[in-house]
Amino acid sequence: MRVLIVNGSPRAKGNSDLLCDAFLRGAQEAGHQVEKISLRDKVVHPCRACYACFQTGACVQKDDMADLLAKVEAAEVLVLASPTYFLTMSGQMKGFIDRLLPKWQGLSGKDAYIIVTGHDGRQGLRRNAEDLAAILENLGDSVRQIIWGERVWKKGEVLGTPAMEEAYQAGRHLGVR
Ligand SMILES: Cc1cc2nc3c(=O)[nH]c(=O)nc-3n(C[C@H](O)[C@H](O)[C@H](O)COP(=O)(O)O)c2cc1C
């Protein structure tokens, strides 16, 4: 399967990044075609709400999003990873999601996975995960699993927690029902 992992954390080698890598390793070992994208490396301007894309199918802004949107369209499995910022997803992740607008009716039917991180326990990360899940379901995708990187604050704290193995196993067992 074609798998696209999108990391919405600005921290290189941070907790979300490490969980994405564990998922990626599992999926690669299972023979899938996997690509990981870190939004921190991309230029994605905020949606301008001009609605030109409703006429043309493309955004008027010339940044990295056209390329990202093509990758999202092509993916059979979509993994969204985000740290929890003030109870929900990072601004980077939300900005990316808003820019899905040109193709929002053509992104259904994917298997979706969610990776959330945060210093709180699961209850504090719940809104982040639920917001991402609601968006994916609204697009017509099926959320297969949420990976909870809970009680991790500093860079790398997720290493050695059960979430690492959960992310690896989720990647390893993609498509298995
Ligand atoms: C602006 C900001 C807001 C945050 N808000 C929360 C929060 O509401 N709940 C929480 O559990 N952690 C919060 N955190 C902590 C991060 O979610 C936590 O450090 C996480 O591990 C970061 O993931 P990363 O290493 O992938 O960047 C916040 C961090 C920042 C920078």
Question: CA Rg, the chain, in Å?
Answer: 15
- Which of 17, 87, 153, 161 gets mutated to test ligand 1 (max ligand atoms within 8 A of its CB)? 153
Give the type of residue at 161. T
Distance of alpha carbon 7 from alpha carbon 116, whole angstroms: 10
Give the tens place of pLDDT for each residue, 94-118: 999 999 999 999 999 999 999 999 9
Reported as a single tens digit per residue, the pLDDT across 57-76 is 999 999 999 999 999 999 99
List domains and CATH numbers for the chain.
Answer: 2-172 (3.40.50.360)
CA atoms within 13 A on the CB side of 1: 21
Would the pLDDT of 175 be above 90?
no
Q: Quick check: CB of 16 below 6 Å from ligand 1?
A: yes
